[in-house]
Chain A
Amino acid sequence: MHQALLTLGFGLVTAAILSLSAVAFTLEYAVTNVANLSHGEILTVGAYAALVVHARTGSALAAALAAAVAGGLMALAMYAGVVDRFIRRGTPTLVIFIATLGLSFVIQNVLVIIFGAANVAYTISPGAPRQVGPFLWTAVDIEIIVSALAITAALYLVISHTTFGKALRAVSQNRELARVSGINANFVASATWFLAGLVAGYAGFILAESIGTFNPSFGFSFFLITLTAAVAGGLGRAFSTMVGAVIVGIALEFFGGFVSAGYNLAFAFAILALVILIRPRGLFVNARRSVFE
């Protein structure tokens, strides 16, 4: 039991990072209907930005901010440079999906050129693990969980209680209708992607902190797990995505405990396949349909 609780504790850390990444991905999808396959690269860029700033300033706080800002700018560039141009032409979303895959390829390798392909170490001394209730967490772990909760709460407030949030929801429901009602859909989408990038960039920072090393492809690997959570929760639905992320994060930790962690990815996708087969639209959506509905 004790062991199970410990694993649960570690799982919650993973779940925290996963939920931030997944929510950001879901926001991107919600306002553009595009599943952004280069989303993982936002995390990677955030991690590298944090590394550079930390090396210069020695401040973890500055590093965190740098990660967020870099992520926001990267996401904005993705939107304005690629995604929006396709949307304006009325390109089918599957085609844009393919384009984001190409984008992932490009960004990962640009990072290779700048930083090299090798693993870089990201050492922020985690501090000694302390007993917090039934869990064993380091100071960094606690920061991760707390900050994830705070960001999630902030996002929730923004989405449900601000005019911007209302506009966001309108655009995600029906872009044309929102535009006709006077909402500048393009601005809302750009701002949302920037926001999502802030969150994802920060997620990259805490992920790097948590793992300790990273390389240009680490965001993509983590993204594949993020994808599991996002699709399991239901693409485009923020709340259920978060629940999906928590479940997947904890499940992975338990699974990793029984079998080597190298299989994590395979396990995550096994979950995904199962979810998609049973409920193609996600765990929390009704479904009894023919393939045409």
Chain B
Amino acid sequence: MTTEAPVALDVRGLSKHFGGLRAVDDCSFTAPKGKVTGLIGPNGAGKSTAIDLISGFKLPDAGTVVFDGKALQGLPPHRISRLGLIRTFQTPREWRGLTVLENVVLARWDEGRETFWRGVIGLRKAQREATAAELTRAREILDEFGLSELRNERAGNLSGGQKRLVEFARMRMAQPQLVILDEPMGGVNPVLGERMALAIEGFIATGTSVIVVEHNLPFIERVTHHVVVMSQGSVIATGPFESLRSNQAVIDAYLGEMPTYEQPSA
């Protein structure tokens, strides 16, 4: 018996194998709407593959993914993105040669203005206004993330931490319904991590649901409302982080204890 909380993502029976290896094996979970869901598990649990399958970068062998009432499995990544699900990657994937400002502006796919003819011929007032509005919004977002000084720098010249912030800025610009962050804390110091945690809270505040894949368990404890644990391709436990501490299956999968999060003094 449950009070039906709205669901952002409903994954059922997702499977993918490579040769003999079952990377994702009958994986099922739901991510509640308007909340942060963590996806954790030891190395090789299949988390990243599951994300690839959900976001269209790999084709599932079986299973369904339902997002906002639509089935995603089998769709190419750009379609899924246009439906409102945007993901990041384990390494920052900025558009190196373009400036930080351009990186943020281009985070929004604009159907109307990206066709060839409108691009070349369209100079109508509405278009120019749209461009100006877009730039203003991008500048505001860069301000929020403290990246204003860097906006004319080529994105490839930024440090790793700065690139991660650009990724968040892009997400904010795109305003998707669901954001999937693939190991955002990789190589990130605690201060930056706190900034990210606040950014994630910002997403929730604007109505975006979040899924975070992470190894950094303290971070997961800090940001998530709900956690899904994977091991060997399938889900072994779900629930709030605290409840998983004493979950034997989870402890076994992690071969031991799970550390706590400490707010950095900064």
Contact = CB atoms under 8 A, between A and B. Distances in A.
Partners in one complex: yes
Contacts of A292: 57-58, 77
A7 B59 CA distance: 45
Interface in A251-293: 286, 288-290, 292-293
A286 B19 contact: yes
B239 interface: no
A252 to B, nearest CB: 34
Nearest to A286: B19
B57 A290 contact: yes
A286 B19 CA distance: 8
A288 B19 contact: no
Nearest to B19: A286
The 6 closest A-B pairs by CB, nearest first: A292-B57, A290-B59, A293-B58, A290-B58, A290-B57, A286-B19
B24 to A, nearest CB: 14
Nearest to B18: A286
B97 interface: no
Nearest to B57: A292
B76 interface: yes
14 contacts: A286-B19, A288-B59, A289-B58, A289-B59, A290-B56, A290-B57, A290-B58, A290-B59, A290-B76, A292-B57, A292-B58, A292-B77, A293-B57, A293-B58
Contacts of B76: 290
- Per DSSP, chain B at the interface is loop
A90 B231 CA distance: 35
Interface residues of B, number: 7
Nearest to B74: A290
A288 B74 CA distance: 13
Contacts of A290: 56-59, 76
Interface string B2-31: 000000000000000001000000000000
Nearest to B59: A290
A292 B76 CA distance: 10
Contacts of B19: 286
Interface in B28-85: 56-59, 76-77
B241 to A, nearest CB: 32
A144 to B, nearest CB: 39
A289 B76 CA distance: 12
Contacts of A293: 57-58
A208 to B, nearest CB: 44
A198 to B, nearest CB: 35
Contacts of A286: 19
A259 to B, nearest CB: 40
Interface string A139-178: 0000000000000000000000000000000000000000
A24 B202 CA distance: 58
A286 B56 CA distance: 20
A200 B115 CA distance: 49
A288 B76 CA distance: 14
Which of A288, A289, A290 is the most central at the interface, judged by chain B CB atoms within 10 Å of its CB? A290
Nearest to A289: B59
B14 to A, nearest CB: 15
Nearest to B61: A288
B86 to A, nearest CB: 16
A293 B19 CA distance: 14
A292 B49 CA distance: 13
A289 B56 CA distance: 11
Contacts of B56: 290
Nearest to B76: A290
Given A290-B58, A292-B57, A293-B58, 11 more contacts: A286-B19, A288-B59, A289-B58, A289-B59, A290-B56, A290-B57, A290-B59, A290-B76, A292-B58, A292-B77, A293-B57
A288 B77 CA distance: 17
A288 B61 CA distance: 10
A109 to B, nearest CB: 33
B186 to A, nearest CB: 19
A67 to B, nearest CB: 42
A110 B38 CA distance: 62
A170 B217 CA distance: 36
B198 to A, nearest CB: 32
Contacts of A288: 59
A293 B56 CA distance: 11
Contacts of A289: 58-59
A288 to B, nearest CB: 7
B85 to A, nearest CB: 16
Contacts of B57: 290, 292-293
A270 B140 CA distance: 54
B73 to A, nearest CB: 12
Nearest to A288: B59
A122 B199 CA distance: 74
Interface string B220-260: 00000000000000000000000000000000000000000
B81 to A, nearest CB: 13
A89 to B, nearest CB: 16
